Amino acid sequence: MRTAFADTLTEIAKKREDLFVITNDLGYSVLEPFIEKFPNKYLNIGIAEQNMVGVAAGLALSGFTPVIFSIIPFAIMRCFEQVRDDICYHNLNIKIVGVGSGLAYGSLGPTHHSIEDIALMRALPNMTVICPGDPIEAALATEAMLDHTGPVYLRIHKKGDPVVHTTKPKYSIGRAISLFRGKTVGILTTGNMLPTSLAVAKKLNDIGISTGLIQFHTIKPLDVLAIKRAAETYSFLFTVEEHSVIGGLGSAVSEVLAENNTDVIFNRIGIEDRFTKEVGSQEYLRLVNKLSVEDIYRRIKTSVNNL
């Protein structure tokens, strides 16, 4: 996804004089094409994340559209106070691009995991939260983010993400994408769990459990209407995300369901309320957290069969 983002940003910068990219000594092998074409629109602030946000705020107040690029813990967590007070309080037109969603940097330990970021960002007034599910969505999200006025947090994966969409979907901030419909189970997913959720849905359909799949590439503003329709369509709803079950998509959906008195059976599938202290690849840590295709498939199958 990060390559799709960088390529799209570079193309848009050819037409946008206001774009300015800031990073904190990160982005190597990703941002070079942008830097080569636009050396005067790029600043490596060094390992000084709070200063990075302050500089971005100054640029935004001077008429620029700053794009902050870093891995997620450094893009928003180390400088959360500045994101809150400098960016969101003033409703500045700054875009924060966080790389390494969920357990992508699994081998570096819990300090580099990103399992609370959606919760943090969706709680901030004025902040828009976007979590694309594949490289096609990442490119579309970059375009939409730069067209949007106001703070945006774009949560993207690293590299090697499979392309899920066979054609370019209709994309707009705040509108979920229905990949296909079913009758019994609705899987609501976000971000880098889209390929996994697709595989789970196919396995369930193969055994006769009619399953639909909806991708929530935007967590805030949330597509409330899509959730209401899903609750009316399906007997079971499951949210699937590589994020804490507290504060992410699952929490957002449960709020809508509770406030609308729905009768649907609902379960959140994500990372439980714990740090993942095991060390290994993202695939291994998904197994540890029971977020593999087989684990999610078995959980949904068991829930449906036990009704």
pLDDT tens-digit map of 129-155: 999 999 999 999 999 999 999 999 999
Question: Does one domain contain both 186 and 132?
Answer: no
pLDDT at 295: 98
Question: Does one domain contain both 8 and 101?
Answer: yes
Question: Does one domain contain both 222 and 150?
Answer: no
CATH number at residue 67: 3.40.50.970
The residue among 91, 125, 156 that closes a domain is 156
Q: Is residue 162 part of a domain?
A: no
State the Cα–Cα distance between residues 121 and 139, nearest whole angstrom: 21
pLDDT tens-digit map of 184-214: 999 999 999 999 999 999 999 999 999 999 9
Q: Is residue 164 part of a domain?
A: no
Question: Does one domain contain both 21 and 148?
Answer: yes
3-state percent breakdown (helix, strand, coil) of the chain, nearest 5 = 45, 20, 35
Question: Does one domain contain both 149 and 275?
Answer: no
Question: Does one domain contain both 282 and 148?
Answer: no
Q: Is residue 251 part of a domain?
A: yes
Question: Does one domain contain both 184 and 128?
Answer: no
Q: Is residue 296 part of a domain?
A: yes
Segment 44-60 mean pLDDT: 96
Phi and psi, residue 269, nearest 5°? -120, 120
CATH number at residue 297: 3.40.50.920
Place of tokens 């998509």: 249
In sign, the C-alpha dihedral spanning 283, 196, 120, 78 is positive
Q: Is residue 172 part of a domain?
A: no
pLDDT tens-digit map of 74-110: 999 999 999 999 999 999 999 999 999 999 999 899 9
Question: Does one domain contain both 22 and 143?
Answer: yes
The residue among 156, 188, 205 that closes a domain is 156
How many domains in the chain?
2
Question: Does one domain contain both 51 and 141?
Answer: yes
The residue among 156, 189, 205 that closes a domain is 156
Assign 239 to helix, strand or coil: strand
Strand partners, 180: 213
pLDDT at 194: 97
pLDDT at 29: 82
Q: Is residue 163 part of a domain?
A: no
Q: Is residue 77 part of a domain?
A: yes
In sign, the C-alpha dihedral spanning 55, 56, 59, 60 is negative
Range of the domain at 183: 177-305
Helices (H), the chain: 2-13, 32-37, 49-61, 72, 80-82, 117-122, 135-147, 194-206, 224-233, 249-259, 282-288, 293-305
Q: Is residue 171 part of a domain?
A: no
Question: Does one domain contain both 102 and 224?
Answer: no
Segment 113-139 mean pLDDT: 97
